[in-house]
Amino acid sequence: MKTLDNFDFKDKKALIRVDFNVPLDDDFNITDATRIEAAKPTIEKVLFDGGSVILMSHLGRPKGKEDKYSLKHILTKTSETLGVDVKFADDSRGDVAKKAAEDLKPGEILLLENLRFYKEEEAGDEDFAKELASLGDIYVNDAFGTAHRAHASTTIVAKFFAEKKCFGYLLAKEIESLNKVLNDSKKPVTAILGGSKVSTKITVIENILDKVDHMILGGGMTYTFIKAQGGEVGDSICETDKLDLALEILEKAKQKGVQVHIPVDVLAADDFNNDAKTKIVDVDKIPQGWQGLDAGRKTLENFKKVILESKTILWNGPIGVFEMENFANGTIELGNYIAEATENGAFSLVGGGDSVSAVKQFGLEPKMSYVSTGGGAMLEMLEGRTLPGIAAILE
């Protein structure tokens, strides 16, 4: 895998695709600068070598040039975070961008205006990509969050660099971590899949059945599996058109020797509401008028045992409605078991959407081996797809 370490950036201009799509409040203050901080090692390597940096990113979903989506709003914070006065080109193409890039000296950083001010970015337009490419000597992709999109700056641009392109440290780490879980893993390997529906996870489940020893299924998708096996799920979320699919998954898992673990008891509520009345019930005997919203104690004990015996753990999706305090316990406990296993030497990867929010919310992030930064991109990798942004560097 070609990374920044394969290049000496002395007197070179690195054209770096970063993901600075940060959340802003109404006064344009950055409420979470994690993404800018995360790009720091890549940027510092180029500067340390004696090169200069041209940063390109998108912000939000502008329709044409909209001031509220201008990257000028993040300039001060970016300069502060990187410890360098970052220059700004208020156009990502044409003479403005060209002149700003030409004037750039070693040690300097230039941020280009929001790429999505041009519809050519998302359209993957070749001319736009070529124009971007003309600004730098070496292309670096460090934006995992958009690696699953064949946009001009994430994919198409790479074809104008022949050998002079590589992964940034952040993107390289994402690829390495997933590889550690799916292709180069220490056994036993356990995948924990939660979230609301089977339908959105089916391709992930099918892809990883070949790679894991244990599969823990929890959260809202539990009830589709339980109903498929003849259980009573009351008012729990359930995809009745996916019952056959659920049985097929269980059968496939059996054929492949994967041990599937499904909740045996749940915390049921008489309403989808934090203040609803609750009781613990067997997962296959949920009365009408009640719905399962979190894992029960016996379930958690079962899951704990599997997790503590695992050497590699992948976690995608919460196992309860963790957004409501009274149904967050299962997800928190599960996170704690993974933290304990990690402390004992297991490799743990959390990725793909809501479980990432959960680990952040419950302060578990530092206790995991790796927490992915790209929701959609990670899910597509788990589905076994080759992401265009990654393929473009490898080609």
d(CA 153, CA 373): 19
- In the complex, what is the shortest distance from the CB of residue 350 to ligand AMP, in angstroms, rounded to a whole number? 12
Our finding on whether 270 is near ligand AMP (CB under 6 A) is no
Contact residue for ligand AMP among 76, 79, 200, 369 (CB under 6 A): 200
326 binds ligand AMP (CB under 6 A): no
- The nearest distance, CB 342 to ligand AMP, in angstroms, is 21
**116 in catalytic set:** no
User: Which tokens go with 22?
Assistant: 């940060």
| Sheet with 291-295: strands ordered across | 278-282, 265-269, 291-295
Candidates 131, 142, 174, 354: give the one binding ligand AMP (CB under 6 A).
354
Rounded Cα distance, 54 and 105, in Å: 11
In 3D space, the residue among 297, 326, 321 whose CA is nearest the CA of residue 223 turns out to be 321
Dist. CA 155–CA 171, nearest whole Å: 14
Active site annotation includes 376: yes
Strand-pairing partners, residue 24, are 30
Spatial CA neighbour of 370 closest among 227, 223, 170, 198: 170
362-392 CB burial, b ≥16 within 10 A, e <16: bebbebbbbbbbbbebbbbbbbeeebbbbeb
Task: Please pick, from the candidates 292, 296, 335, 389, the single residue that binds ligand AMP as defined by CB under 6 A.
Answer: 292
Q: Which is nearer to ligand AMP, 62 or 317 (CB)?
A: 317
Nearer to ligand AMP, 168 or 318 (CB): 318
Among 96-104, 120-128, 161-169, 317-325, the segment contacting ligand AMP (CB under 6 A): 317-325
Choosing from 168, 195, 296, 353, the catalytic residue is 353
61 is catalytic: no
Minimum separation from the CB atom of position 260 to ligand AMP (A): 18
Rounded to whole angstroms, the Cα distance separating 63 from 176 reads: 35
Question: Of the candidates 76, 79, 196, 369, which one interacts with ligand AMP according to CB under 6 A?
Answer: 196
One residue of 124, 231, 320, 351 binding ligand AMP per CB under 6 A = 320
What letter would DSSP give residue 230? Answer: T
CA nearest to 352, candidates 311, 393, 314, 296: 314
Q: How far apart are CA 259 and CA 250, in angstroms?
A: 9
Total residues at interface with ligand AMP (CB under 6 A): 17
Identified binder of ligand AMP from the candidate list 317, 335, 351, 388, rule CB under 6 A:
317
User: Two tokens at 249?
Assistant: 């998954």
Among 43, 53, 237, 334, binds ligand AMP (CB under 6 A): 237
Assigned token pair, 336? 């704690």
Which span (11-19, 66-74, 306-314, 320-328) binds ligand AMP, by CB under 6 A?
Answer: 320-328
Q: Is 35 a catalytic residue?
A: yes
Q: Is 323 in the site for ligand AMP (CB under 6 A)?
A: yes
Task: By CB under 6 A, tell whether 136 contacts ligand AMP.
Answer: no
- In this chain, which stretch among 14-22, 88-96, 106-114, 192-200 interacts with ligand AMP, using CB under 6 A? 192-200
Q: Does 203 bind ligand AMP (CB under 6 A)?
A: no
By CB under 6 A, name the one of 51, 124, 168, 195 that touches ligand AMP.
Answer: 195
Helix and strand totals (H; E) in the chain: 15, 17
Taking alpha carbons only, the member of 258, 317, 323, 265 closest to residue 290 is 265
For the record, the structure tokens of 295 come out as 């894992």
Give me the active site residues, please.
Answer: 35, 197, 353, 376
Binding interface with ligand AMP (CB under 6 A) = 194-197, 200, 219-220, 237, 292-293, 317-318, 320-321, 323, 353-354
